[in-house]
Amino acid sequence: MWIWSKLSGAQWMDAWEDRFYGNPNTVISKLKSHKTIRVEVYTETEEEAVKIQQQFGGSIRKLVHKNWAAVTEPARPPIRIRSSIIISGSRDDDAREKLGKEFPGRHIIQIPADMAFGTGDHATTSTCMRFLVDVAREKKGQDWDMLDLGTGSGVIAIAARMLGAHHCHGMDFDPQAVKVARRNVRRNGLSLIQMSETDVLKWSPDRQWPVVAANMFSTILQQAFPVIARALQKDGDLIISGILREQWDETLEVAEKCGLSFPTVTRKGKWVSARGMRLK
């Protein structure tokens, strides 16, 4: 068994919590000064630990005489999104088939906890999914595509495809997230979903999309709004999340300057999500 660890400023705790959200082998501890935190991730192999180190720096070491049972992945109950989607965190090959029998008529998505954000139970992801279900119902019988910015595990793009999107394109700047997302697309037996390693702040859209989702930190969203506005069709549906409550007002102000409007706003815990459109 191996452990990756890194010290970081306490102001980045939310970012680290979200980055490893859904990974039950993660421990984040505040040090005595309360100005520094230690982030630790336990892994079964050295290769897994090295991959994290390559992404985030830090150090790795072999774990000796550790009760690994204390940090092994617990079974998580399936997540229900409206009456349309069930998300399973199981790694069992037959998990989707079993849940399909238990929840007939619902779309079953299998997303094990992995090194990519978006297992479906975080407030930001689950709210995006609920908005997406609403959008899909309104577009029933129409042809529509979907762009997923900051795709993470790929769960939102996967859900859109199951809900009726003809084609989905997920983007993430993190190469490991893209690998995980592609694996999840295969795991769920889907086609017509493209996953690409893309920095949205350096990206130039070559088309406009009827539906765009962007689940990213507000600081990135604010910088990305001009690009998002160019990528979204006029009167298209835009879903955003990843915004802390105290950052919503400034985020909305920047969005409105880019011609974006958000008539539907949902607050869940410390997070804000919104559904809107491009007006001009």
Q: Coil, helix or strand for 71?
A: coil
Mean pLDDT check: name the lowest of 55-69, 123-137, 194-208, 227-241: 55-69
- Whether the per-residue pLDDT at 275 is higher than 50: the answer is yes
Mean pLDDT check: name the lowest of 75-79, 99-103, 199-203, 204-208: 75-79
- Whether the per-residue pLDDT at 186 is higher than 90: the answer is yes
Question: Are 109 and 89 within 8 A, CB to CB?
Answer: no
Q: Which fold has domain 115-278?
A: Rossmann fold (3.40.50)
CA 143 to CA 163: how far, in whole Å?
A: 12
Write the pLDDT tens digit of every residue in 104-150: 999 999 998 765 566 677 888 999 999 999 999 999 999 999 999 99
Say if strands 59-62 and 26-30 run parallel, antiparallel, or are unpaired: unpaired
Question: Are 151 and 195 within 8 A, CB to CB?
Answer: yes
- Whether the per-residue pLDDT at 73 is higher than 90: the answer is no
CA distances for 10 relative to 26, 30, 37, 154, 248, angstroms: 16, 7, 5, 29, 21
Provide CB contacts within 8 A for 206, sequence distance 6+. none
**Architecture of 2-70 per CATH?**
2-Layer Sandwich (3.30)
**Are 2-70 and 115-278 equal in CATH topology?**
no
For the chain, what are the domain ranges? 2-70, 115-278
CA 139 to CA 191: how far, in whole Å?
A: 20
CA 114 to CA 43: how far, in whole Å?
A: 11
Mean pLDDT check: name the lowest of 52-61, 77-86, 107-116: 107-116
- Whether the per-residue pLDDT at 210 is higher than 90: the answer is yes
Q: What is the mean pLDDT of the chain?
A: 89
What average pLDDT score do residues 79-88 get?
93
**Would you state the pLDDT for residue 116?**
57
**Would you state the pLDDT for residue 117?**
66
**Would you state the pLDDT for residue 69?**
47
How many whole angstroms from its chain centre is CA 218? 14
Q: Tell me which residue of 124, 103, 27, 114 sits closest to 76, measured CA to CA.
A: 114
φ, ψ for residue 270 (rounded to 5)? -90, 5
What average pLDDT score do residues 214-243 get?
94
Mean pLDDT check: name the lowest of 61-70, 89-98, 99-108, 179-188: 61-70
Radius of gyration of the chain (CA): 19
Q: What percentage of residues in the chain have a pLDDT greater than 90?
A: 57
